[in-house]
Amino acid sequence: MKFTLSRSLVVLALAASSASYAADYPTKTITMIVPFAAGGPTDTIARLLAQAIGTNLKQQVIVENVGGAGGTIAAARVARSAPDGYTIFIHHVGHSTAPSLYRKLNYNSIDSFEPIGLATDAASTLIARKDFPAKDINELLSYLKANKEKVTLANAGIGAASHLCGMLFMSAIGTDLTTVPYKGTGPAMNDLLGGQVDLMCDQVTNTMSHIKSGKVKAYAVTYKNPVATLPDLPPLASAGLTGFELSVWHGLYAPKGTPKEIVTKLSSALQAALKDPTVKQRLADLSTDPVAENRATPDALRSHLKAEIDKWGPIIKKAGVYAE
Ligand code: ASP
């Protein structure tokens, strides 16, 4: 209740002094909320962007990890935050799947936020602990048929991209595995590396270095074609598994009611960050693509988010997976 009141007061105050407030913005540290635990792809992308956006705006942007429930806990918190430009939010494709996956959300993925812009796109990879028996995707499919009750599949919570990918995978092979939810890919990957869990489908951003160093086994990628950095990794569709054109896109948002001039400043800072040579190089190293400048805009993110909500809704409904 206290939260709601302070949010309303901020909205009123901003409406009264919007122009001068926005002209001076930012005058203090900005917090970027990350909806997953530290150490995963969203956290990595967030930290890179936070640094570069902060340099551009001449103010520090700090990252706060608010993991749990596939990103929906963080989204609800941002939706209730003061729309003053000092709380911003990064989220991925999960922001578009949550409305279909959750029977009840106490925010609206579109109406509770001001889109700032799209940021990155990345493929996902289906991986296993290093000593998992199957050596390629075909062996994996046979192994899962025979041993499904023994196999565990990690994800970063219901609503996470890894959950979506795992769900599509199980539905495509017609086999239910035991899923193990974490608060983000960071802790899930630790358990996979430690051999406590068997499989995971997660962004190449986080998996590539482990695939290249042989610390995990990789079976397939979720793009139509192989990704340039892992040319030997076949698309899941090549093993006859359809419905896998999954791109894990990330976007930046502010709470609804954040003044337009501030959103424009943040959007310009995002565009500058994506052109920053250090950011570009680091993203290239992680096989993660920065979006073109015209997609790092509020309009592009708004229409992409709507299109993705429409795309995933029927697929999730067909798979019959819901969270309470
Ligand atoms: N990659 C995770 C997911 O499955 C989240 C994270 O970035 O930690 O959505």
Report CA 75 to chain centroid distance, whole Å: 12
Is 94 near ligand 1, meaning CB less than 6 Å away? yes
Distance CA 288, CA 56 (A): 22
Is 174 within 8 Å of 148 (Cβ atoms)? no
The CATH number, out of the four listed (3.40.5.50, 3.30.565.60, 3.40.190.150, 3.40.50.1370), of the domain defined by the range 7-122+249-319: 3.40.190.150
Query: Which is more confidently placed, 17 or 244?
Result: 244
Domain with CATH 3.40.190.10 in the chain: 124-239
Between helix 94-101 and helix 298-319 the angle, nearest 10°, is: 40
| Domain 124-239 -> CATH class | alpha beta
Per DSSP, 207 falls in state: H
**Could you tell me the pTM of the whole model?**
0.92
pLDDT tens column, 133-164 = 999 999 999 999 999 999 999 999 888 999 99
Helix (H) or strand (E) holding 11: helix 2-24
Domain with CATH 3.40.190.150 in the chain: 7-122+249-319
Strands 87-92 and 247-255: antiparallel
Q: What is the pLDDT of residue 10?
A: 74
Determine the atom of ligand 1 nearest the C-alpha atom of 248: 9
pLDDT tier, 26 (very low <50, low <70, confident <90, very high otherwise): very high
Check pLDDT > 80 for residue 48: yes
Residue 322: Cβ within 10 Å count: 12
Is 68 near ligand 1, meaning CB less than 6 Å away? no
